[in-house]
Amino acid sequence: MADSISVDLCARARETLHFDVTEVIVPGADGVFTVRPGHTALLSTLIPGVVLAYMNNSGEQHFAVSGGFAEVKDDHVLILSDAFEAGDEIDVARAEAAHERAESRLRKPGEDTDLARAEASLNRATARLSAQAKKYVSRGPARNP
Amino acid sequence: MASLRDIKRRIESVKNTQKITKAMKMVAASKLRRAQEAIIRARPYAYEMRKLINSLVARADRDLHPLLRPGGGGKVGIVVITSDRGLCGSFNASIVNFTMRTLQETFSGRDVELTLVGRKGIEAMKRRSCTVRESFMTTQFEGQLHRGAAAIIDDIVRDFMQGGTDEVYCLYNEFKSAVQQTVILERLLPFEPGMPEDEAPPLDYLYEPTQEEVFDALLVKHLHVQMHRVLHESAASEYGARMTAMDSATRNAGDVIDRLTLQYNRARQDAITTELIEVISGAEAL
């Protein structure tokens, strides 16, 4: 069994990021899960959240993902997400503005407010803010009853 | 023979047209470059997604998900992608012609419903007797092609799930290079079990939350991503076609200007000669 796993982060409009980790934590729709070498094959949907990667030799890195899918197979994790951002490249002001906007939309929904969309955008903004702050916030399953 | 002033005026007018076509060519060229970059960035995502879907669908049971088997409505759906704006050579004409040919040959005798994207396609189909299910303008996407792709796909999937269509295809210009675009007919639904890339034995995934939910989300997402790629391909093709068309228009305008200038010079020479003859014969008469 290998002692590291390779991760591919793939998004709609940017280059695929490839790196090796000893452990990676992924925000699955059914709850956050950790992948270590030797993990069983898994296919999960993701919710907006933070991917925390423990790099082989360069510490840990946080990524905000906007949801999507994760495939775990043969010590390889493929994360397909519409968008991802590394914690360091997130523009805090913009993320905060998006957070604010989504929150006020949810507080005072107008006639034509798309609640699902506002909530999704709130979740994405939260994910980006926590990835930027290098916090790992486990929010558990984000499913409406 | 046209008078000197007429010719001069025509030269000026052709020059103005040439300026416009030249500007349009430049604009198309710079947009093409951006569209090309967008395609290159969009491809890995679409490719990884397709790989995952292929390996999944090849192993999956067809009864697992409604999107994996024919819808059962007996109808065929085709998404035809054109552009909103003209002046791009045969870009739109070739799509429209291909559509008509497909309707007559591949799907002759079948009930076909079109989903039209782009004003040019909508206008062209209005003049022909086709059943149009839904039309979209590319400008209404406002540069957010993924929103547009989602709108198109959601509409198609809804219809498919309700048993409206048996199968759905997509017809678009695939971007080969700035001077070459090919019209492509691609099947969207139901999913074809392509060959998985690796010949590994069937793999049983653990599905989270459940297999149904993963399939639901993944299949629709895959369609979104493919349609997003297709819209990008079409946009890049449009700019490529416009660039080529405007380039040859500029060159043609140059030819016309050369010809008119020659005509103008001849006329001027003529006028001078006539005047000279008049002066000389006038002097001789004295």
Can you list the domains of chain A with their CATH numbers? Answer: 1-145 (2.60.15.10)
Residue B232 C-alpha, separation from nearest chain A C-alpha, in angstroms: 11
Considering only the C-alpha atoms of chain A, give the largest distance between any 2 of them, rounded to a whole number of Å: 56
Placement of tokens 């500029």 in the chain: B250
Structure tokens, B55: 């390996």
Mean pLDDT for chain A overall: 83
Active-site residue (options: B28, B53, B80, B88): B88
Full-model pTM:
0.83
Query: Is residue A139 scored above 80 in pLDDT?
Result: no
Chain B contact probe: residue of A9, A71, A84, A117 with most B CBs at under 10 A: A71
Determine how β-strand A42-55 pairs with β-strand A76-80: unpaired
The yes-or-no verdict on residue B201 having pLDDT over 60 is: no
Question: In A, what residues contact B, Cβ < 8 A?
Answer: 8, 10-16, 28-30, 33, 40-45, 68-69, 71, 73, 78, 80, 82, 141
Compare CB distances from B41 to A14, A33, A40 and report the shortest one's residue. Answer: A14
**pLDDT of amino acid B282:** 92
The interface predicted TM-score of the complex, written ipTM, equals: 0.79
Q: What pLDDT does residue B249 have?
A: 95
Residue A53, strand partner residues: A24, A61
Domain limits of chain B?
42-240
- pLDDT at B1 exceeding the cut of 60: no
Contact B149, B231 (CB under 8 A): yes
Lowest mean pLDDT among A61-65, B77-81, B194-198, B226-230: B194-198
B88 is catalytic: yes
pLDDT of residue A142: 44
Residue B233 has pLDDT above 80, yes or no: yes
Token representation of residue B29: 């060229």
Q: What are phi and psi of B115, to 5 degrees?
A: -115, 120
By CB atoms closer than 10 A (0-12, 13-18, 19+), residue B278 is: exposed
Enter the DSSP assignment of B2. Answer: -
> Residue A42: which of B49, B205, B213 has the nearest Cβ?
B205
Q: Please tell me what DSSP assigns to residue A112.
A: T
Most confident option among A119-123, B110-114, B241-245? B241-245
The CATH number corresponding to B42-240 among 3.30.2010.10, 3.40.190.10, 3.40.1380.10, 3.90.1150.220 equals 3.40.1380.10
Contact A42 B44 (CB under 8 A): no
pLDDT band for position B203 (cuts 50, 70, 90): low
CB contact under 8 A, B214 and A10: no
A71, A73, A80 ranked by CB distance to B45: nearest: A80
Record: contact B217-A15, CB cut-off 8 A: no
Query: Are residues A44 and B207, on separate chains, in Cβ contact within 8 Å?
Result: yes
- Residue B110 C-alpha, separation from nearest chain A C-alpha, in angstroms: 36
CA angle A57/A59/A62 to nearest 5° reads: 130
Average pLDDT over residues B39-45: 86
